[in-house]
Amino acid sequence: MDRFAGRTMGVATIHGKERVIGPALLNVLRLRGVHPIAGIDTDRFGAFSGEVQRTLDPLEACKVKALHGVEVSGLDLVIASEGSFGPYPPAPFMSCNEEVLVLYDGRDERFFTHRHIALETVFGGEHCKSWLQVRAFAERMKFPEHGLVVRSKGKWATGDAMKKGITSEEVLRSMVDSLVGSNGSCWVETDMRAMMNPTRMRVIGETAARFANELATACPVCNACWFRVTGTRHGLPCALCSWPTESIRSIERGCWECGHVAFESRPDGKREEDPQHCSNCNP
Ligand SMILES: [Zn+2]
Ligand SMILES: [Zn+2]
């Protein structure tokens, strides 16, 4: 499993993501170095604040970004990341952050991918009619550590006023005062670019660490890298009656190269389920 050893990896980012992606991958993959790619324009593939609409799904957008990174840098190993935010499907009153990472290896033109969903997120937007309302929202959104965007309306259109990357109360207040003065209201939202949102930056780092571990896991049959988790099996036995419960019993790993599939027990070491989750003991 020496695919990545001694190679230089480019990070297709203008938002400082190499600060968390680099340390996560460097030693685990035995890379020579990890560097941001200069002169890349990742915003042309879509921006959070709506000036450029996203037309591709996050995984496809990430692949296009990685290929753009190859083109600009001339490197044959480039990683790109893409985040999305919204309600958490199993519990829509909570917000979640899905991060996608794509690593492109130009030697054999292969993509390696990883997805991670985190419930820890600082994400929101509010239509505000006063400075007091803005200040209360900003406090909930952990401002000024987390940056804000202010604009006249919820949906941005060409020519509308907008200010991104606000991290000073003075700047926030003058923008809000001017918009509320002329329009009676303004729209305030979190700036989700990684360098403006430390919570998201941490999630990207966590996603990169998980990705690094999967990339460094070799197939026991053919020794290819990225012997990744491809599924889970239910049926963790009940501690009281041994009935198979709905809880996860084992995880499945699959090899993209030779097709080998293996099952391993839960990484948290749990071997039995509490009888309160058993449909036999607790129907
Ligand atoms: Zn294999
Ligand atoms: Zn039971």
Surrounding residues of ion ligand 1, Cβ less than 5 A? 219, 221-222, 224, 255, 257-258, 260
- Centre of ligand 2 to C-alpha 266, Å, is 19
CA distance 139 to 191: 14
Instruction: Give residue 51's pLDDT.
Output: 62
- Centre of ligand 2 to C-alpha 271, Å, is 14
Pairing of β 186-190 and β 125-128: antiparallel
Instruction: Give residue 42's pLDDT.
Output: 67
> Domain spanning 8-121+197-215: which superfamily?
B12-dependent dehydatase associated subunit (3.40.50.10150)
Question: What DSSP string runs through 151-174?
Answer: ESSSS--TT--EEEEE--HHHHHH
- Centre of ligand 2 to C-alpha 247, Å, is 12
8 Å CB contact between 33 and 101: no
Q: Dihedral of CA 251/230/226/38: which sign?
A: negative
- Centre of ligand 2 to C-alpha 262, Å, is 27
Strand-pairing partners, residue 77, are: 105
Q: Which ligand is nearest to the CA of 224?
A: 1
- Centre of ligand 2 to C-alpha 281, Å, is 4
Q: Which ligand is nearest to the CA of 243?
A: 2
8 Å CB contact between 10 and 73: yes
Q: Which ligand is nearest to the CA of 274?
A: 2
The domain spans of the chain are 8-121+197-215, 125-191, 228-277
Q: In a structure prediction context, what are the per-residue pLDDT tens digits for the chain, which is 283 residues long?
A: 789 999 999 999 888 999 999 999 999 999 999 999 988 876 666 666 666 566 678 899 999 999 999 999 999 999 999 999 988 888 888 999 999 999 999 999 999 999 999 999 999 999 999 999 999 999 999 999 999 999 998 777 777 888 999 999 999 999 999 999 999 999 999 999 999 999 999 999 999 999 999 999 999 999 999 999 999 999 999 999 999 999 999 999 999 999 999 999 998 999 999 999 999 998 7
Give the E-state strand segments of 191-238 in sequence order: 228-234
Report the SS3 class of residue 219. coil
Strand-pairing partners, residue 100, are: 82, 115
Q: Could you check whether the bond before residue 144 is cis, i.e. omega within 30 degrees of 0?
A: yes
AA identity, residue 246: E
CA distance 272 to 276: 12
Pick one of 3.10.20, 2.60.120, 3.30.1490, 3.50.50 as the CATH number of 125-191: 3.30.1490
